[in-house]
Structure 1
Amino acid sequence: MSCETKEQIIETALELFSQNGFLGTSMSDIASQLKITKGALYKHYESKQQILEQIIERMAKLDLERAKKYEMPETEQKKFAEAYIHIPTEKIREYSIAQFRHWTEENFSAKFRKMLTLEQFRSKEMSDLYQNYLGTGPLEYMTKIFKKMTKSKPKARQLALEFYGPIFILYSVYDGAEENAKKSVFVQLENHIKNFIERLEKERAEK
Structure 2
Amino acid sequence: MGALDGIYLSNTFAFEDKLGWSGVLLEANPRACRTLFRNRPRAIKLCTAVSMNHSWLTFQDGLYVSTFGDPTQFSDTFAKRFHPNRSRPRQQFEVPSAPLGQLLRAVGVSHIDLFSLDVEGSEYRVLQTFDWRIPVRVWCVEWNPEVGDLQTNASIAAIMRRHGYERHRWAHETTATRPLSQNQLWVWGGVWNVSTVVWQQWAPNS
TM-score by length of 1: 0.32
TM-score by length of 2: 0.32
Find the structure with the greater CA-based Rg.
Answer: 1
Instruction: Compare the two structures and name the one with the higher helix fraction.
Output: 1
Instruction: Compare the two structures and name the one with the higher strand fraction.
Output: 2
